[in-house]
Structure 1
Amino acid sequence: MTRPVAPFGQRLRDVFDGLGHLCVGIDPHDHLLDAWGLDNSPAGLREFGLRVVDSAVGVVGIVKPQIAFFERFGSAGYAALEDVLTAARESSLIVIADAKRGDIGSSVDAYGAAWLEPGSPLEADAVTLAAYTGTGSLHGVFDLASRHGKGAFVLAATSNPESLAVQSSLVAEGNRTGSTVAGLVAAELDDYNRARSAGAHLVSAPVGSIGVVLGATKNLLDYGVDVHSLGESRPLLPVLAPGFGHQGATFGDARTVFGPLVASTIVSTSRAALAAGPAKLRDALSQQASELAGALS
């Protein structure tokens, strides 16, 4: 008999308590492959990813492969990715597949199965999603995730400068008329987590399993996202936060930007750590994890 898997939010909380909030991206940019002495090829990507996994074990608890870097090599790239995902899962790391998928009906359900179904070659612990078709269109993926102890993170207020015009646009109708697009996404995910927790008699669960992507470089109120209001809900809305390091945010900004949601925020680092190179990556991650712990204490 298969033992039930703990909810993703609980597993996330356990990682926060044990190893902290730092997540390292597996982002094999061309210049990083060159600096690491690796070929810009599926074999190079595989080696890069496996070295990041090895460096992360025991230092950070979360890794986030950027799928696009593997996808550009087609089936050979996906084969390399499968090896990296397997190695990360076998090392008991939480794996967030940064795939940014989104669609409707059976199509989006198939995306969910690809990334979250146990036994899938691309199985991860969570996947990033886009909600341009509305958060309701993603509920099939959310429900699949909940059944298998998996998670998802939906884009809301992203770190790129072009995002403000769309994501701060006002909702014209419905029960949240006047909300921004980003605020609506965050609020609807918060609603989903609370409804799921209440239905499962887990009202005291510390962190939800379906989260939101909020860029650390942003004034979130400009996007209509009130982290203080969201922080009053239980379980806490999990946040995947890009923008630290190369994009300009510092660990010291985390409390200011995310307020009470800092307790459920995954702080993502990528190029700022990966630039240390394979021989020094573990030390770089250890130092960043320590600095982040100090900033959040």
Structure 2
Amino acid sequence: MTLPFGRRLADAVAARGPLCVGIDPHVPLLEKWELPDSPEGLARFTDAVVDALAGTVAVLKPQLAFYERHGSRGLAVLEDAVVRARAAGSLVLLDAKRGDIGSTMDAYADYLRPEHPLAVDAMTVSPFLGPGSLQPAVDTARLTGGGLFVLARTSNPDAGTLQHALVTDGVGERSVAQVVVDTVRGWNTPGWVVGDPLPDIGSVRDVASRFGPTTGSFGLVVGATLRELDVDLAGLGGPVLAPGLGAQGGSVPDLRRLFGTDAAVVPTVSRDVLAAGPDRAALRAAADRWTEELAG
């Protein structure tokens, strides 16, 4: 039986460090690598990244949109890459940001099923149709041992338009972002479902807040470039995906400033590593530099 994603993530981080590298073959980067904007160029790019990094980093995060834009041939490239990356020991987090209701959300969650041709270890999802809309994905993740990272406090300039909006309910007045955080904290609490009273933070403090055997499989996306952390992550019990290191302005000191030293943080770097290609040794060296800095 497949171990839960949280446990597999903890094992991968223990073996390789917490670095997640995004695989983002956008047109300017293909041009920089002197590759055509075609399925063939996409395949050469992806092969180089997977060959260089799948045996080195804990998590690889392909952005689905860059493969979908090439149609079925692009998805075939991604299917092959996912299989090879997982076989080499890296976890694959599909950056899909899916969010819908009912059977549609259930279908999106099929990426977590082992029989799916593009089966991955975890995926990113959007909660803005309401926390309950993601329940089919939560159910599938629990059944298959998969993981979810839910958009909570992103660092794009106008994120606060929705994420800072206030909600008043039986719990009190909270921001939308905090509602997302509290919901995911509930998912990492055995027996809790959407609609139940929120678990008391003190009751889940025995769930390790940093990587370990009890790391939960449900995490959050919180930007590493935020000026301040304006949500309470106490007792989350799961990992935080922190995109934005490197070219987007985030740094290792920013991670420590925002999250301290105890949280189970998965820092994400894309452009700062991918810009080193297409040479495989240079890609690996760039990832190694970030891994060493994160360990310092």
CA contact (8 A) 1:170 1:178 kept: yes
CA contact (8 A) 2:54 2:60 kept: no
Q: How far apart, CA to CA, are the structure 2 residues paired with 1:116 and 1:220?
A: 33
Cα distance per residue 1:251-285 (max 9 Å; x no partner):
121111112553x1110000011111121101111
State the shift of 1:206 in Å: 2.7
Q: How many residues align?
A: 278
Q: Describe how 1:157-176 pairs up with structure 2 within 5 A.
A: 157-172=153-168, 174-176=169-171
Cα distance per residue 1:92-148 (max 9 Å; x no partner):
2100000000101111001001x1111211211001000111121111111111111
1:226 lines up with 2:227 in the alignment: no
Aligned residues: CA RMSD: 1.8
Q: How far apart, CA to CA, are the structure 1 residues paired with 2:186 and 2:266?
A: 20
- Residue 282 of structure 1 corresponds to which residue in structure 2? 284
Cα distance per residue 1:54-87 (max 9 Å; x no partner):
1113321110001111111122211111111111
Q: 1:210 aligns with which of 191, 206, 218?
A: 218
- Residue 203 of structure 2 corresponds to which residue in structure 1? none
Greater share of helix residues, 1 or 2?
1
Greater shift, 122-131 or 187-196, is seen at 187-196
State the shift of 1:177 in Å: 3.0
Q: State the AA in 2 paired with 1:153.
A: F
Percent identity, aligned pairs only, is 46
Q: 2:47 aligns with which of 46, 50, 61?
A: 50
CA gap 1:38/1:196 in 2 versus in 1, 3 angstroms: farther
Q: How far apart, CA to CA, are the structure 1 residues paired with 2:35 and 2:83?
A: 21
Q: Describe how 1:177-256 pairs up with structure 2 within 5 A.
A: 177-195=172-190, 205-222=213-230, 225-227=231-233, 230=234, 233=235, 236-256=237-257
Give SS of 1:9's match: helix
Q: State the AA in 1 paired with 2:12.
A: V
CA gap 1:187/1:220 in 2 versus in 1, 3 angstroms: farther
Report runs of 4+ in structure 1 exceeding 6 Å deviation. none
With normalisation by structure 1, the TM-score equals: 0.89
Q: State the AA in 2 paired with 1:292.
A: L
Give SS of 1:278's match: coil
Q: State the AA in 2 paired with 1:81.
A: L
- Residue 131 of structure 1 corresponds to which residue in structure 2? 127
Q: How far apart, CA to CA, are the structure 2 residues paired with 1:69 and 1:196?
A: 37
CA contact (8 A) 2:105 2:134 kept: yes
